[in-house]
Every structure is written in structure tokens, then in C-alpha cells.
Structure 1
């Protein structure tokens, strides 16, 4: 069945007004900031005696200072106050800030403009928790990835347009007047769109807002740490902002001193990178199959390192020394490689950030969404302040801009390996995503029968060595797989399944103690509300036909009265990963590249009906004749 395009949300009141409100906020932030950075980079002496490189790292630091101090309080407010009303209050604040900065532009008063930077940071701090807590209230679960993708695309398109128009307007003879009037007009337009945002009831109206913002920040982060996967996803999200802040803050000096370009070259670099982010964010819905697919996160991280490293080498190969504009730059040897690296950094950044945000939204306590997002904003701010500090230290220690790109890409590889070793679910889903997007095309039927929450046992026929990976990729929730204990002795797979909390099991003949322990662990997992998947045949098929279901399933449902969901894998028999005794190369080529397979999920079976014989019949019917 075809699904509505994610852009169809823009025509709906539950999404459209909110989208345009946040889009205009992102646009105005960057219209103002970019105009200020361009002035301080290309017309420094008329405004200040400070170093442009220092200012380009200091201004983003000042912008995110309110995130560090006030995000926790902003999260409390967003959980306590109706979000439409709060959005309108934030937009009124933006109008006031733009009046102050307009005075700064017209009177050539730098400290008023710096105050405006901090003010817009406060505006974004207050709106941030609203932005991501609003979506789960108004979007269905299958719309959440697409909705997040559109929001991320809109944010970065807003950033892109703000940067382009800010850089172009401020370079005009009456640039300061254009910027002063333009930022005020956009703020007023954002206020107008906010009046169309529908009511979004506060999840915790009884919440008492703490006046001690430092203590609240600590409580907020401590609460988030209780959910390990969410907290580590928050850290991964914040690392992306560290990476992005460190790289993007070098663009003005990189454009001027390394590419020998005017302000239009700076705009071109921002345009290419922002287009990449927008494209990557939108592609997430297609690549994820309209579910929260965290397997894209390692994929995105790999790209961030690879193309960051290549950007260093591409920059070394650039030899032009004459001043050029954007058109002149495109004619220079080697510049297309630099632009391709920036574009792909953006694309893979989109693959990285969108699933992480969706995971945080769906896995945290529904009554604590805004405060969890606020905690994410605190971490983002701390990481971005750290990025500004690291950049300043690198500059003072003689790092060139290309060397800073290289160092950031290498740091990304180390951080990614560390995070994914702590949360192996990312690697599991990445392997699954890779399998079903390279070797196989997987069609799923009836996956909605897998409950969104609560315990259940999944039973499936056992066809290949990758059954668990295929099932894991299709499930919207993590699964505790019950697996033969011998697989845990395999160096790589053993580590993945062990850290993914798979449950080892042995036959009564091999190890009766381990078998009994497995049933205890299964009962405990179900008691904690997990999904547990078993293969009742107890072994891989040797001829493509299903083996008899053993009695273990009856023992499980006798202890834990939970529904049992039958599933059938179809089309895997004869693949490289099965025990088919025919020639491995011959059958691999005969199936062709990206051969089709299917996972069909049946209706839940009540525990009192879940006998091995009945479940065998259900799975066999689901499988049909297609092995």
C-alpha cells in the first residue's frame, strides 16, 4: 500500500503552521548571525580590532550560552505550558530582540549586536524543547521519521537561505538598513504563523518550575541517564553538533584565506553543505522504511569521517592564489572535489541526526519529552562551547583549517566506535539495514501485529544464519533473541549478540543448567516488558522444510502469560547463509543481486492457545510454498 508523501504534512494544520514558525526562526537566526560574521570578517576594521578567526568562533559560543544555562528551565516550561501559547510568547520575544539589534545596526554599536546574538540564543533555547516535543503529540508513529526529516530539512534550508541572504544583503551599499528592517519583518511574520499552531495540551501542567536553573539542569541530565539508550543517543546527537560547529565555524576563513574567495564563496560553501543536510534528512524516510531506523546512524557516522578526511586532502590539492568569486571558484582545478566532500558531509550528517532525534522522542517517557529535549539541548550547547574552545586552541597551536577538518574527522571515528560499542543495538540495526539494502530486498507483511509496547514472544521458522538480523531489521522495537550458546563463542557475532542481550540456550543433554537459566532469563525479560524471539525448531533447516516445534514455547507461556506472535521467513532458503548443500556459487548467482525475501507476521495467539502444534500450523500457513 502506498503511503502519503511526507510533504503532504505541510498542507495540514497540525504540522504546517508549526513548520513555518520554526523555519522562519531558523532563517532569522542565520540572517542576523551571518550578516554579523560577514561584516566582522570582510570589514573588520570598521567594527573592531579583534581577530576575525577569534570572532568567528566566539560569536557561535555566545549564541549557545543560553542553551547551557537555561535549557532545563525551558524544558520545564514546555512540559507545563500549552505549546501553541508558548510558541507565540517566544515569537514576541524575537520581535523585541530584532528591535534592539536594529538599533545596533543603525548606530554601528557592536555591543548591541552581540547582545542580540545572546538574545537569539535565548529565543532558540526556549523554542527548542517545544520544537521536538510538539511532533510526537501531533504525528503518528509511522509519520515521525518523515516529519522529523521535513523539520530538519526546513531548519537547514532556513539556515541556508538566512546565510545566503544575510551575506548578500549586508554587502550592499545600504546593507545595515536592509538587515535591520529584514530581520524585524521576518520576526513579525513568524509571530503571525505562530497564531495558527493548534492547541497542544501540556503533558505535566501540575509541574512546579524550579528557580535554580543549575540544579534543574543537573536533575534533568540525571533523569535522562536512567534510560541508557536515550542518554547515549543524546550524547551522539551532541557530538554531531560539536562536529558541525567546529567545521562550519571555519568556513569564513577557509573561504577567504584558503580558497581566496570573496563573500560569495563563503555563501557557496554554506549552500552546498546545507543542501546536503536537507537531502540526507529527506532521504531518511525512504531509507528507513517509514520507521525509526537507527541502523542509519553508523552509516552516517562512517560518511562523516570518510568525507571529512577527504576534505583535508582535497584542500591540500587546491592551488589557486588569485581572489575569485563563486563563479570563478567553480572553474578552479580540484574545487569540485572540495564541494562534493562538503555536500556528502551534509548528506551523511542528515542520515546521522534524524534517526537519533526520532529515537530520543520515541524511547523517552512521554511526560518528559520536552525536558529530555531540553537535556539534549544542554548537552548540545556544552559540546558546541567545547567545539569553539577546541577550535580556538587549535588555531593558537598553529593548526591550519584543513588540519582542523582532518582532526575533527578522526575524532569522529573514535567517538563513533566508542558509542556504538556501548549501544550495540546501533551496530545490529546497521548490519540488518545493510543486509536488506544490498544482498536482499525484504518485503514485510503484518508487522503492525508486533505490539508497540509490552511483552510478547515471537516465534519463527529457522532458515538461515541471518534470521535474527532480518527479523530485527523489520521490528519497530528491540528484540531479545534466544540463540544457540555456541554462537556466543564466535569472535565478532558473539560480541554483538552478547552485548545486545541475546539469551544463550543449550539442549538438556548438552547443559541442563544453561537451559534452565535461559528460561529464567526469558521470564525476566518478559516481566520487564521486552520482546523475546525464539526459533522453536531448535536448529536450522537442512532441506528448506520446517522441523517440528519443540516444547520450549509451552514452558515459556506457562511461566509468562503473554501473547505469542507467529512469523514466517519466506525466500531465504538457498541463499548464501543457509545449509543448502548445492553449489554455493551456483545458487548465489542463480538468485541474482538483491533477491527478494519476505517476513510475514500473523495475528497474536493467546497464551492458552499457544501449543507447539498450533503455532507450527500457524507459521507453516504464513510461510506457504515459498521457502
Structure 2
């Protein structure tokens, strides 16, 4: 029997959506990274503003649409065919990346910031679509595998976009290359979006029309009123808070704590993306298609342990006169431990978050599914904003990036305890199953038939 990942990646009901979202995530980070480097090294002095101020402004413009338009995007996705919306969104992306390419070519900060706001809006509208599409096109036993591929693909796209955008834009004609790649990927994304099968609206035509801020408040209120949706959303938000802190802090960690250059930053970003992919795939392997949160506490434990050990491993690094390159860094004592911790942290994050996304999709009513995803996006954006503000304040007071990562690991412990308590029955079942398998070599076949017969199955011990 073929792997569920291979089955999905070769099926029209999933593959076009996967490629479309991959290209979109790549473009988001291609432009963000290009703008950050371009502004810092080329345009900051011309504008009369500090580089840090412009980068903070750019980050704020990208995330603002998630607060403003997420609710309306979810409402639109619930009352309209999602495949149709995806095509229009991807068509708009071509124009947005064209604006960004023109801004890079003209070295225009206003054009670049406008394009970044446009991409933020594009991601806000597309986010509820891609996650609400999965339950319509996939079976319940395929949700975990589908989310694992989406999660792994997203982080790989983030890695590739960040590396290409940050490394190429300052070369001779680098802006032209970045702009051309961005527009080309947007066109490719529009083409693949046209292959996404129809995903009809889950509510009737008399459903409320989108209402911008009012919808954002309403969807958050809807999710917070139901613990079965709120708890997974809060847990996912913790992952994004943690992950955003790690990814944004890697350059500072490399330079100020590990005394390493941008080659090591690129290496760590690559390993982080690989780790998330490994953890996402591991989640599907452990659950075998079952929508369950019983392995979420394990993922949290791995995240917490690796973050604390990364901090401990970064202590006492000798200060060097020159920043170490990748080859030199790998020869230094303790470097492999730090990289292993980073991979483990990311893998724990994939194991932690993939089941939670599947639960959000599985537990939400079809008529509200896109709005639930929209509310989750709002809570995620709020968590990442809070993380950025708190991290900036702590770093300004003298905390090192290594200490901040260690603090994130310790702060994950209450999250582990809460999730373990919520899924305590599933954990106990898993422990008993493990004991029976290891000590008594008990194997159970045919559980899929029991699930198919529920809730009327009768199990008689023999």
C-alpha cells in the first residue's frame, strides 16, 4: 500500500492546493526578506529613517491585515466556493508581486511597503481557504497527513524564500532577479489554483455578508465560547509564538551568542525547516490517520527540553575576533549539540501543531469551518505580536537570545501540563497499549472496523 503522503501528493484533490500554498508562502518570505535586506543596506539612509524602524514598520504592515480582514475572509470562504476565491486571490498576487518588483527596481520604499501590505492581505484571505478546503477534499483519516504536508511545505517555502530573497537582492541586478522570480511564482500559483477542484459553500446564499472588523470580533467570540475549539487554537498560537521567536531570533543568536556569521544562520534556518517537516511527518506516522491530540504533550516536552538544552549548550562560547563561518562553527566544541537541539525543537513543534490543526478542522461545523480557521489566525497573529514586543523588551534589558530561548522552553511546561490533563484519557490508553505491546506482545488488528461501526460497536473480550 502506498504511503498516504504519496497518495495525496499525486491526487488532484490535494496536489494543486499544496503547490499553490507553497508558492504563496515562498513569495511572502521572498519579498519580506528582500525588503528587510534592501532597506537595511541600501534604502535606510535615503529615507532618513533608521533601518530597524523601517523593518519594524514592514513587519507591522504585513501582520495588520490578519487583524483587520481575517473575520471577513472566513465569512467569505464559508459562503463562496473556496476554489473560486483561491483563483481570484492568486490572480491578485500577480499584481502584488509586480508592484513589489517595480518597487525593488525603482528602490521605492512606499511601493515596497504597499506590496508587503498587499501580500499580508493575500495571506489573510487565502489562509482560511486552504485549511477549510482540506476537510472537503480529504477523508477524516487523511486530515493529519494533509496537515503534515501543508505544515512541512510551508516551512520549506519560508526557508527557500528567506534564503533567496536575503542573499540575491543586493547582487548586481539582484532586484530584477527577485522581482522576476516573484512574479513567475505568482503566475505559476494562479495556474495551479485553477486545478483545485470545486469546494462549494457550506452555507446558503442568505448567509451574512463579510463585515470587516465586526466579523473579526464575531469569529473570535464564536471560538472562545467553545472549549473544543479554543484550546487547540491557543495551543497552536503557543507554537507560533515560540516558533516566531526562534526564527526571528536566529540571526541574533548566531551573531551575539554563537559568534557566527550569516552562513550559520542559513544552516540553522535550513535545519529548523527540516525539523518541522520531520515532526509533521512523524505526527502522521504515530497517529496512523487518527485525529487525536494524545501526542501533543510529547511534542511540547521535546520543544521545552531542546530549547533549555540549546540555552545550556550556548553558554560559555569563546568570543572570537571574527565571526565563524559554517565550516569553522561545525568544528567548534558543542556546535553539533546546538544544531541537534534546534532540529529537535523544530521536530517537536511539528509533532505538537499538526494534530491540533486537524482537530480544529474536524471539530468545527462545516458552516463555520473557514471562520474558525480565521479566528485561529487572528489569535496566532496576536500571539506573535505579543511575542515580538516582549522579546524586544527583554533583549533591550540585557537578556541574551540564548536566555530568551531557554525562557520559552521553561514557559512551555505549563502548556504541556494543561494539554496532558486535557488528553489524559488518550495518554493513559497510549501507555496501556505500549505496555501490552512491549511486555506482553499483544497486537490488535482490525481497529479500523471498530471505528467504522461506532457508536454501536460491541467489544467482547475472549
Match of 1:214?
213
Answer yes or no: is the 8 Å Cα contact 1:71–1:217 preserved in 2: yes
Q: Distance in 1 between matches of 2:38 and 2:262?
A: 10
Match of 1:482?
none
Match of 2:289?
290
Match of 2:376?
376
Change (3 A) 1:59 1:416: farther
Q: Out of 272-281 and 168-177, give the one that drifted further.
A: 168-177
Q: Distance in 2 between matches of 1:8 and 1:28?
A: 27
Change (3 A) 1:26 1:211: closer
**In the alignment, is residue 251 of structure 1 matched against residue 250 of structure 2?**
yes
Q: Distance in 2 between matches of 1:376 and 1:143?
A: 21
After the TM superposition, which residues 179-194 of structure 1 pair with which residues of structure 2 at under 5 Å, given as runs?
Answer: 179-194=178-193
SS in 1 for 2:458: strand
1:188, CA displacement in angstroms? 1.1
Change (3 A) 1:427 1:318: farther
Answer yes or no: is the 8 Å Cα contact 2:75–2:210 preserved in 1: no
**In the alignment, is residue 432 of structure 1 matched against residue 433 of structure 2?**
no
After the TM superposition, which residues 75-154 of structure 1 pair with which residues of structure 2 at under 5 Å, given as runs?
Answer: 75-154=74-153
Change (3 A) 1:349 1:435: farther
SS in 2 for 1:445: coil
| 1:502-538 CA-partner distances (Å, limit 9, x unpaired) | xxxxxxxxxxxxxxxxxxxxxxxxxxxxxxxxxxxxx
1:241, CA displacement in angstroms? 0.8
Q: Out of 434-443 and 85-94, give the one that drifted further.
A: 434-443
Change (3 A) 1:345 1:399: same
Q: Distance in 2 between matches of 1:384 and 1:55?
A: 19
- Listed as ranges, the gaps of 5+ residues in structure 2 are none
**In the alignment, is residue 566 of structure 1 matched against residue 452 of structure 2?**
no
1:91, CA displacement in angstroms? 0.6
After the TM superposition, which residues 231-380 of structure 1 pair with which residues of structure 2 at under 5 Å, given as runs?
Answer: 231-321=230-320, 322-380=322-380
1:298, CA displacement in angstroms? 0.5
1:122, CA displacement in angstroms? 0.8
TM-score, length-scaled by structure 1? 0.69
How many residue pairs were aligned? Answer: 458
Q: Distance in 2 between matches of 1:57 and 1:434?
A: 47
Answer yes or no: is the 8 Å Cα contact 1:317–1:334 preserved in 2: no
Match of 1:546?
none
Match of 1:173?
172
Q: Distance in 1 between matches of 2:7 and 2:239?
A: 29
Change (3 A) 1:446 1:139: same
1:434, CA displacement in angstroms? 4.4
**In the alignment, is residue 408 of structure 1 matched against residue 300 of structure 2?**
no
Match of 1:22?
21
| 1:152-197 CA-partner distances (Å, limit 9, x unpaired) | 1111111122122223322433322211221111111111111111
| 1:19-62 CA-partner distances (Å, limit 9, x unpaired) | 10011111111112122233455668556666666666654443
SS in 2 for 1:101: helix
| 1:583-603 CA-partner distances (Å, limit 9, x unpaired) | xxxxxxxxxxxxxxxxxxxxx
Task: Name the structure, 1 or 2, with higher relative contact order (CA <8 Å, separation 6+).
Answer: 2
**In the alignment, is residue 386 of structure 1 matched against residue 383 of structure 2?**
no
Answer yes or no: is the 8 Å Cα contact 2:4–2:142 preserved in 1: no
1:351, CA displacement in angstroms? 0.4
1:104, CA displacement in angstroms? 1.6
SS in 1 for 2:444: strand
Q: Distance in 2 between matches of 1:332 and 1:113?
A: 40
Change (3 A) 1:318 1:305: same
| 1:537-560 CA-partner distances (Å, limit 9, x unpaired) | xxxxxxxxxxxxxxxxxxxxxxxx
For the aligned residues, what is the CA RMSD? 2.4
Change (3 A) 1:307 1:412: same
SS in 2 for 1:444: coil
SS in 2 for 1:250: helix
Q: Distance in 1 between matches of 2:241 and 2:388?
A: 9
Answer yes or no: is the 8 Å Cα contact 1:40–1:48 preserved in 2: no
1:106, CA displacement in angstroms? 1.2
Change (3 A) 1:171 1:435: farther
TM-score, length-scaled by structure 2? 0.92
Q: Distance in 1 between matches of 2:275 and 2:57?
A: 26
Q: Out of 309-318 and 78-87, give the one that drifted further.
A: 309-318
Q: Distance in 1 between matches of 2:63 and 2:359?
A: 24
Q: Distance in 2 between matches of 1:59 and 1:34?
A: 11
Q: Out of 30-39 and 124-133, give the one that drifted further.
A: 30-39
Q: Distance in 1 between matches of 2:267 and 2:58?
A: 21
Answer yes or no: is the 8 Å Cα contact 2:257–2:400 preserved in 1: no
Q: Which has the higher strand share?
A: 1
Answer yes or no: is the 8 Å Cα contact 2:264–2:326 preserved in 1: yes
Q: Which has the larger radius of gyration?
A: 1
